[in-house]
Amino acid sequence: MSIANRALSEPDSNASRGPVKVLVWDLDNTLWRGTLAEGDRVTLREGAREVIETLDERGILLSIASKNDYEDAMRKLKEFELEQYFLYPQIGWNAKSSGIGQIAERLNIGLDAVAFVDDEPFERAEVQHCYPQVRVLTAAEMPGLTERPEFFPRFITDESAIRRQMYMQDMERDRIEAEHVGPQVEFLAGLEMKLSIDRAREEDLQRAEELTVRTNQLNTTGYTYSYAELDRLRDSPEHLLLICGLEDRFGSYGKIGLILVEKRPDVWTLKLLLMSCRVMSRGIGSIVINHLMERAREAGVRLVAEFRANGRNRVMLVTYRFAGFKPVSDRDGVVLLEGDLERIQPHPTYVQLRVGR
């Protein structure tokens, strides 16, 4: 069976959890020694800064779920020069599980990709009870986290090293959008977005593999590909491997999409279409699909797409249907949809599209 046609194997229970994408920290007697609310003179825990900086460089996001006064805790983090590392910190008096749920929602990351470190057995048990899929760790395990395989991505890409900064740019975009009054299309036009679609090059393959491993909410089939497989597909005359990049006036989103098309003389099959969750609300998925439809029409072939539901990627099916794709078969959990190449939607004017051939 070819690489592009292989079936998904059933992973073992540990591998199915995948890598950690965000580590949520408790503060008292975990990140630092002492209890802030009791007036202790708290000191940063040995090795904590090194763990934070190393995980940040690897593209693993960091946040906080702590029972503390928000202003006092943020003031102390600023004293330690660490406040910039933590996204959407949940500091207050609610249950830690509530904070973790909000962090995962705001980062749009599945709970199975979240780890939580806390010194208190009660707090760890409370989180584990509410979210069994979250990896719960003791404070004593903190110094060795950077050596654990789930905290060690296979590749450190350009996007990995600046992932936190890109999320911070997203936070600014969200703030501006929340304050915007008027049609959404006006807000989107104000972003001055530029989308690129290019053939994947060798230097793109590490990021391409990372996208297939990290992205499952917006992955049409859930297929994952290794660096070596992607390299073979990149050079295959029977396949088209494309990678998408996006930038706007706030900065670069990095490489945010991957497309794999299997080419036959009379039909092209979309084997894989995935998008970063950070851009789907910008309508990028629909723009990419419309471009592929135009490309297939120019080549004089039909365009079909495979879709395999994974419980979290239904929005991708909706995107296909919105673009005019209709189901033509359903076999072994794979729905095959065909696009109507006579009814291709025009590209929105709020995105400048650049296509490399």
pLDDT for the residue 17 = 63
We report the CATH number of the domain holding residue 348 as 3.40.630.30
pLDDT for the residue 357 = 61
Pair 285, 218: CB distance under 8 Å: yes
Which residues span the domain enclosing 314?
Answer: 183-355
Whether 276 is covered by a domain: the verdict is yes
Pair 64, 27: CB distance under 8 Å: yes
pLDDT for the residue 216 = 56
Q: How far apart are CA 284 and CA 218, in angstroms?
A: 12
Whether 169 is covered by a domain: the verdict is no
Q: How far apart are CA 218 and CA 315, in angstroms?
A: 7
User: Are both 202 and 345 inside the same structural domain?
Assistant: yes
SS3 of residue 95 by DSSP: coil
pLDDT for the residue 6 = 37
Q: Nearest to residue 199, comparing CAs of 261, 284, 282?
A: 261
User: Are both 204 and 311 inside the same structural domain?
Assistant: yes
pLDDT for the residue 104 = 93
Q: How far apart are CA 269 and CA 304, in angstroms?
A: 5
We report the CATH number of the domain holding residue 53 as 3.40.50.1000
SS3 of residue 226 by DSSP: coil
pLDDT for the residue 75 = 95
Q: How far apart are CA 239 and CA 232, in angstroms?
A: 9
Q: Which residues partner with 261 through β-bridges? A: 240, 270
User: Are both 192 and 122 inside the same structural domain?
Assistant: no
Q: How far apart are CA 17 and CA 15, in angstroms?
A: 5
User: Are both 53 and 120 inside the same structural domain?
Assistant: yes
Whether 172 is covered by a domain: the verdict is no
Q: Which residues partner with 275 through β-bridges? A: 257
Q: How far apart are CA 246 and CA 48, in angstroms?
A: 34
pLDDT for the residue 9 = 32
> Which residues of the chain fall short of a pLDDT of 70?
1-17, 214-217, 357
DSSP letters spanning 14-49: TGGG----EEEE-TBTTTEES-GGGT---EEPTTHH
Structure token pair of residue 50: 């090194």
User: Are both 212 and 116 inside the same structural domain?
Assistant: no
Would you tell me how many other CB atoms lie within 10 Å of the CB of residue 244? 26
Whether 86 is covered by a domain: the verdict is yes
Distance of CA 73 to the CA centre of its chain: 28
User: Are both 329 and 233 inside the same structural domain?
Assistant: yes
Whether 87 is covered by a domain: the verdict is yes
User: Are both 132 and 42 inside the same structural domain?
Assistant: yes
pTM: 0.72
Q: How far from each other are the two terminal CA atoms of the chain, in whole angstroms?
A: 29
pLDDT for the residue 95 = 94
Give 173-203 as a 3 state SS string.
HHHHHHHCCCCHHHHHHHHCEEEEEEECCHH
- Spell out the alpha helix ranges (H) of the chain: 48-57, 70-79, 96-107, 121-130, 158-161, 163-179, 184-191, 205-214, 227-235, 284-299, 314-322
User: Are both 332 and 213 inside the same structural domain?
Assistant: yes
Q: How far apart are CA 290 and CA 270, in angstroms?
A: 13
How many separate domains does the chain show?
A: 2
User: Are both 133 and 279 inside the same structural domain?
Assistant: no
C-beta contacts of 130-133 below 8 A and 24+ residues apart: 130/95, 130/97, 130/101, 131/97, 131/100, 131/101, 133/17
Whether 158 is covered by a domain: the verdict is no
User: Are both 92 and 187 inside the same structural domain?
Assistant: no
SS3 of residue 111 by DSSP: helix
